[in-house]
Homo-oligomer: A and B are copies of this chain.
Amino acid sequence: MASRAKATILDIAREAGVSKSTVSLVLQGSGLIRPETAVKVRKAIEDVGYVYNRGAANLRKAHSNVIGMVINDLTNPFFAELAVGMERVFQSAGIVPFIANTAENPVRQEEVLKSLMEQGVAGLIVSPARGTTPGAFRRLETAGVPVVFAMRRLPDSRIPVIAPDNHRGAWLAATHLIGKGHRRLAFFGGTSDLVVYQERLGGFREACDASGIARRDVLVVEGETSRRGGIACLETALALPEPPTAALCFNDAVAFGVMLALRKRGLEPGKDFAVVGFDDVVEAEHYMPALTSVSVDTPGLGERAAHVMLKMIQSRTTHAEDHIGAVNLVVRDSCGPDRRTQDRPAGIGDAA
């Protein structure tokens, strides 16, 4: 029924009896056209079922209004929370961010970035996949497209980063565990090729060292940053002759896996083994037992990243300051005291 060939501004112009330039002006909301003319044009736009062709417009205009969001794991609810924060600020700027998933695969990431660039994005917010090569963002840089890293960073790059204070978060968590009387600790999940991993492990180690925990009493098990990874980590740890009694997990997904694996073995998370997560996703509060976790204000970081992006686009620069978000430990039920401490009658102020 509808006219087959799609309508252009020329069709609108004919319909409204004005020139294409006038239509263009109306489309851009220019104040130069007479209100009555604008009304007439807008009516014609409706009548012909016009769809604006942004591709054509971008041919002339300097900037598009598309912002891409490249994330490494869509199934991790953490990133959904991050995305929601960003969307809040982009929405009020009249921008619709497009989300693309790389599924932690650098090759896929390459494709995604290429596709986004070809689309002419105005900017990119990226949480790089693990194993991303240093040169992966070279092209973006030479093209002058503003890029912001969220949550993760690349070893030597000059791209601005929005991330939580990983070092401090891990330090907080470890200190808490030690304060509960634990003396053999573990760090579960993640891989050393991630900068975040280094930071979190660093904070963890620092707290252990400061409290005089011997190096041989801290166990580090690398693994996938997922529930499955957590399960695997716990299995490895408990197979050891002298297993740890508490663990800080790389993120909440890992922690959930650990709790699951504990249950499968008939152990009670929090009582028989203490576990702390990282990120504090909304599920953490609702788990059984509720997960103690390092809260990073995820939507807040998303908002911040979006703001930085907007500012970069506006000032047509490709640089910006890093932003390290404050963290704090949310203590819930997943980490009680060390069993050995617990066996003795515990007095008030029973410190480690």
Interface residues of A, Cβ cutoff 8 Å to B: 1-2, 4, 6, 49, 51-56, 58-59, 64, 66, 74-75, 77, 80-81, 83-84, 87, 91, 96-101, 103, 108, 111-112, 115-120, 139, 141-144, 227, 256, 260, 263, 282-283, 286-288
Pair B99/A99 contact, Cβ less than 8 Å:
yes
Give every chain B residue within 8 A of A52 (Cβ-Cβ): 118
Whether the pair A96, B87 counts as a contact (CB closer than 8 A) is no
Contact B96 A99 (CB under 8 A): no
Closest to A94 in B: B111
Report yes or no: A53 in contact with B103, Cβ–Cβ below 8 A. Answer: no
Which one of A59, A99, A287 has the greatest number of beta carbons of chain B within 10 Å?
Answer: A99
* Contact B99–A98 (Cβ < 8 Å): yes
Q: How many copies does the complex hold?
A: 2
Additional 7 contacts, C-beta under 8 A, given A83-B101, A283-B283? A51-B118, A55-B58, A55-B59, A55-B64, A75-B282, A227-B286, A288-B288
CA distance A283 to B116 in the complex (A): 32
Complex Cα–Cα for A117 and B75 (A): 27
Whole-angstrom distance between the Cβ of A114 and the nearest chain B Cβ: 8
In the bound complex, how far is the Cα of B4 from the Cα of A92, in angstroms?
31
Given A54-B120, A120-B53, are A98 and B101 neighbors across the interface (CB < 8 Å)? no
Contact of A55 among B81, B119, B139, B143 (CB under 8 A): B119
Which residues of chain B come closer than 8 Å to A112, judged between CB atoms? 96
User: Considering only CB atoms, which chain B residue lies closest to A286 in the complex?
Assistant: B260
A77: which of B77, B83, B100 is its contact (CB, 8 Å)? B77
Q: How many whole Å from A268's CB to the nearest CB in chain B?
A: 11
Task: Across the interface, name the chain B residue whose C-beta is closest to A71.
Answer: B99
Given contacts A96-B112, A112-B96, contact A143 B51 (CB under 8 A): yes
Q: Which residue of B75, B96, B143, B227 is within 8 Å of A80 (Cβ)?
A: B75
How many Å from the CB of A12 to the closest CB on chain B?
15
Q: Which residues of B contact A256 (CB under 8 A)?
A: 286
CA distance A322 to B143 in the complex (A): 44
Contact indicator A118/B83 (Cβ below 8 Å): no
Report B-chain residues with C-beta under 8 Å of the C-beta of A6: 143-144
Min CB gap A305→B, angstroms: 16
Separation of A91 and B53 alpha carbons in the complex (Å) = 26
Q: List the 7 shortest-distance A-B pairs measured between CB atoms, nearest first.
A: A55-B55, A2-B142, A98-B98, A96-B115, A288-B288, A99-B99, A54-B118
**Which of A1, A4, A80 gathers the greatest number of chain B CB atoms within 10 Å?**
A80
A287 to B74, CA, bound (A): 20
Enumerate chain B residues within 8 angstroms of A84, measured Cβ to Cβ: 74-75, 101, 103
A20 CB to nearest B CB, Å: 16
Min C-beta distance of A28 to chain B, whole Å: 14
Among candidates B98, B111, B119, B287, residue contacting A100 with C-beta atoms closer than 8 Å: B98
Contact check, B54 vs A119: say whether CB atoms are below 8 A apart: yes
A66 cross-chain contacts in B, Cβ below 8 A: 115, 119
